[in-house]
Chain A
Amino acid sequence: MQGDEAIAEGALKAGMSFFAAYPITPASEIMHHLAKVQSLNFVHAEDEIASINMIIGASMAGAKAMTSSSGPGISLKQEGIGYAHMTETPVVIVNIQRVGPATGMPTMPNQADLMQCKYGTHGDVFPIVFYPNSVEECYKYTIEAFNAAEESLSPVFLLCDGFIGQLYEAVDLSAIEVKTKERSKISLGKGIGHITGLLSENGIPKTKHPSYYKKWIKRIKEKIDDAAKNYAFYEYIPNKKSDTLLIAYGITSRVVLPLKDRYSIFRPIRIFPLLENELKEISKKYKKIVVIEMNEGQYKNEVERILKREIRFINSTGGEVKLSYIEGELKKIK
């Protein structure tokens, strides 16, 4: 099964009943797979912006909804993503990352859209973001993304990369235990009242009330933090002999996995909110911490900010990630 396919299957298992998307490499396979499911409310939308707004509308009306795209499409969707945050509408957004910016390298995998999840839309938002590193995890964490969306009443990102999305692996889905969360918020047509993109309280716009905004943003932040506690996913492979901790995720974490006989490895699966407590606790006993990723330091900057210590950095860019290169760079780190 392919990663993209596993994401589609995970969404269906989670109870997704509405899907709208626009074709884009390397995510189109998700659309192809879901188009065949006749019981699914499937829309090949006219553009990326229509997709995000349609799934928000469908979710407002009670459906579990998802869209899938890649960098250029996610860029187009930003206002819509903000709308989902503001209206507290649960939706899942899949980003199979490719090299950017703009049209970039459509068939080359990348990991440079992390900060876009948080800073792509205007204003302050607190996204929940998961990033699997295998076909099986694509299935599992798509389901968890839906659960987290329901619990946090917000848009949740399922980040992936062109490599894992296009990767084929042998999986036995029936062997994977799954729990799903149901819709708790009242839907449109069942008495929710007025929903608006303006700052509002119970449907009444509060556009001139700074004190209300302060209350609101505090509530939102706490809401996300509370929900995210139940989704603190990560993998930690300690190596007793190592004084160095490698941090990697997605395809990079697969490539460096053979190094576990020499180094300890920490793999965040929940990218946002940052696994602050876990990072602080685990990093204590390591002399050196090296973040290895396919971007200019998006996760590394966050780790540095949280741990307030020097973080080493190896990046593999342009769509290529080779173990031989990473090993070479690691040797240089004193």
Chain B
Amino acid sequence: MIKGIIIAGEGGQGIKLIAHTLANILVDLGHDITLTYEYDAAVRGGKIIGILNYSDKKVENPIVETPDLFLKLSSLGGDYPAKKIICETGLCNQEQIPFSKIAAEKFGNKIMMNMIALGRLMRFIDINPDDVDLKKYLPPKFVEKNIEAIKLGYDYK
């Protein structure tokens, strides 16, 4: 069972934190992973894509052509023939979640949208944030807020 996830967004949205955190959690849970990024030259205002594979055996091919899950957080994120798509409002035809709006309402800052999205990802993969020591993977600054955001995304209906 090899699962491929593509997380796409814009530079500055914290895509790397989502992908890296999820990858580290999966490794600690005993999976093998491969993670790679594709980005534009611009650090802000350009697209960034995290391509994550995880498996209970060694991951052979790290390139994902048909992701099992595609998370799209910005219109710059491109499109992929994914089995399941979760996106920010207006960016796709499947599950749309107003990540920025929730972040602004609950935390007063749109930037928290990435952690809310991470929580939603974790529910898709069936990893309960309570079962994992999130503090280990997150930067010390704002760690409490981040954990709150992840749990919010996990519980979001």
A–B: direct contact at CB < 8 Å: yes
- Spell out A's residues near B (CB within 8 Å): 107, 163, 166-170, 251, 254-258, 321-324
Are B61 and A170 in contact, CB atoms less than 8 angstroms apart?
no
Are A166 and B37 in contact, CB atoms less than 8 angstroms apart?
yes
Are A167 and B34 in contact, CB atoms less than 8 angstroms apart?
yes
Are A324 and B34 in contact, CB atoms less than 8 angstroms apart?
no
Q: In the complex, how many residue pairs between chain A and chain B have their CB atoms under 8 Å apart?
A: 46
Q: Residues of A contacting B20 with CB < 8 Å?
A: 168
Are B62 and A167 in contact, CB atoms less than 8 angstroms apart?
yes
From known contacts A170-B27, A323-B65, A324-B65, infer whether A257 and B60 are also in contact, taking CB-CB under 8 Å: yes
Top 3 A-B residue pairs of the complex, sorted by shortest distance between their CB atoms:
A257-B60, A168-B35, A170-B27
What would 9 more interface pairs be, CB under 8 Å, given A167-B34, A168-B20?
Answer: A163-B62, A163-B63, A167-B36, A168-B34, A254-B60, A255-B61, A255-B63, A258-B60, A322-B63
The reply on B126 being an interface residue by CB < 8 A is no
Q: Residues of B contacting A169 with CB < 8 Å?
A: 32-35, 59
A and B contact pairs by CB, cutoff 8 A, 19 listed: A107-B38, A107-B39, A166-B36, A168-B20, A168-B33, A168-B34, A168-B36, A169-B33, A169-B34, A169-B35, A254-B60, A254-B61, A254-B63, A255-B62, A255-B63, A322-B63, A323-B61, A323-B63, A324-B65
Please measure, in the bound complex, the distance between the C-alpha atom of A322 and the C-alpha atom of B61, giving whole angstroms: 9
What is the minimal beta-carbon distance from B58 to any residue of chain A, in angstroms? Answer: 9
What is the minimal beta-carbon distance from A323 to any residue of chain B, in angstroms? Answer: 6
Interface hub of A167, A169, A256, A323 (most chain B Cβ within 10 A):
A169
- Report the nearest A residue to B2, measured CB to CB: A258
What is the minimal beta-carbon distance from A205 to any residue of chain B, in angstroms? Answer: 49
Are A258 and B34 in contact, CB atoms less than 8 angstroms apart?
no
The reply on B23 being an interface residue by CB < 8 A is yes
- Report the nearest B residue to A167, measured CB to CB: B36
Please measure, in the bound complex, the distance between the C-alpha atom of A246 and the C-alpha atom of B23, giving whole angstroms: 31
Please measure, in the bound complex, the distance between the C-alpha atom of A167 and the C-alpha atom of B65, giving whole angstroms: 16
